[in-house]
Amino acid sequence: MSADREASHDMTDRDIALLLAEAADGVEIGIAPTQAVIRGGRRRRTRRWAIGAAVALALAGSTGTLAAAGLTHGDGRGPAQVATRPPAPKPRHVNQPWTSTLALGTEHDKQWEVDLQVWDAPRNRTEAEAQYAAMALFGLSPADASQASDLIGRTSYFVSRIYGDADKPKTVLFDTVRHWDAMAGKDIEAGAVPLTGNTGPQRLVIGQVAKTAREVTCRWKDGTSTVVRLTTDPGSVNMGDMTIRPADGSPVNWFVCLAPKDTAYKSVEVTR
């Protein structure tokens, strides 16, 4: 499936089915959502983050500052008028999501993968119905959306985990939001899930951070830690390389880290 090609907003359900039926085969949604939140640092609104497996959530933050500087005339007469060209319209992915690979790795000679899908917000009922049908073909159920019209004006994202050739993609983190929370400073939202199955040690940590974050530290129950840093090559994902990276369609950066065998998630924070 190409994340660079957008289906027309008025395409029929049959057209969507022809495009997506193959992708729908083998997609698995996790068990009923559970959620536990730990708060720290600056108080900020907690976005509901639906979880598709047994998960530990962390939320932390620090006060961030946003400054705006205006251009002025050289003689100090105030803001100068700057001629600008309207930006080109951003392509919209309503019936076919933006898709990004966040991390790749191997364990026990099997490859695992973490992917992110972002579905742009439908603008009207026609777009919403087409998107709802497309998600259904993927086996996806958007959060808090019992009918297509609930998706109007709301962006949906789904994080899936795959382990081994025989494993079905499992949605482990997902949400549908009208406004994606702005993140700044040391703000972080992360979920910890097992690398395989629904039970077992929560070793795989997946999370969101501000675009300014340069380093995240994942701490494990055995006293060790893993540091992931902002990627220097956003266009590629290397096997076993845990990084902070941008994702298509997302206003925040994402990271993945994996605990060593025989231990599990303890805490996570932005450290730089």
* pLDDT on residue 6: 41
Q: What is the mean pLDDT of the chain?
A: 77
Instruction: Tell me which amino acid residue 264 is.
Output: A
Contact 92, 4 (CB under 8 A): no
What is the 3-state composition of the chain as percent helix, strand, coil, each rounded to the nearest 5? 10, 35, 55
Residue 89 banded pLDDT, cuts 50, 70, 90: low
- Indicate whether 105 pLDDT > 80: yes
Of 192 and 31, the one with more pLDDT: 192
List the helix and strand counts (H, then E) for the chain: 2, 15
**Residue among 169, 166, 168, 149 at smallest CA distance from 158:** 169
* pLDDT on residue 95: 87
Q: What is the mean pLDDT of residues 227-245?
A: 93
Helices assigned H by DSSP within the chain: 13-24, 125-138
Poorest-confidence range of 6-15, 99-108, 126-135? 6-15
Of 221 and 14, the one with more pLDDT: 221
CA torsion 30-35-36-42 (nearest 10°) is 120
* pLDDT on residue 49: 63
- Indicate whether 48 pLDDT > 80: no
Of 24 and 204, the one with more pLDDT: 204
- Confidence (pTM): 0.73
* pLDDT on residue 58: 56
Residue 138 banded pLDDT, cuts 50, 70, 90: confident
